[in-house]
Amino acid sequence: KNQVEQSPQSLIILEGKNCTLQCNYTVSPFSNLRWYKQDTGRGPVSLTIMTFSENTKSNGRYTATLDADTKQSSLHITASQLSDSASYICVVSDRGSTLGRLYFGRGTQLTVWP
């Protein structure tokens, strides 16, 4: 069964600190992995997209890594800001269908305190 597991479920850090969120998946055949940021009550916004051949992708203070061999990804947030408080969702796409089916994790709820 294709699955996406994220950890931790929730995380509290102080403003200015760094943090790393984890994503493990079993989706096969793998196409790409995306990280989304979802503010409370809003729709998800894309942060990064990585295909099989990419190991790392940065978007400002966000850096995502991918190890397709171990089927693990991480999202590292540097120098956190209050506005980083949100749910971070890992999404994995397969290439076994025309749709490119998306498998969503439940997200890591990040809270940044001043």
Interacting residues toward other proteins by CB under 8 A: 4, 31-32, 34, 36, 41-46, 49, 51, 89, 93, 95, 98-102, 104-107, 109
Phi, psi for residue 37 in degrees, rounded to 5: -110, 130
Work out how close the CB of 91 gets to other proteins at its nearest, in angstroms, rounded to a whole number.
8
- Could you tell me if residue 70 is left (phi over 0), alpha (psi between -120 and 50 degrees) or otherwise beta? alpha
Q: Which amino acid, 99? A: L
Work out how close the CB of 43 gets to other proteins at its nearest, in angstroms, rounded to a whole number.
4
- DSSP, collapsed to helix, strand or coil, labels residue 104 as strand
Work out how close the CB of 16 gets to other proteins at its nearest, in angstroms, rounded to a whole number.
27
In whole angstroms, give the CA distance from residue 58 to residue 47.
9
* Residue number, 36 or 77, with CB nearest to other proteins: 36
Reading the block at residue 71, the tokens are: 């089927």
* Residue number, 73 or 107, with CB nearest to other proteins: 107
* Residue number, 17 or 32, with CB nearest to other proteins: 32
Work out how close the CB of 90 gets to other proteins at its nearest, in angstroms, rounded to a whole number.
10
* Residue number, 40 or 114, with CB nearest to other proteins: 40
> Can you list the positions of beta strands (E) in 15-101?
19-25, 30-38, 45-51, 56-59, 62-67, 72-77, 86-94
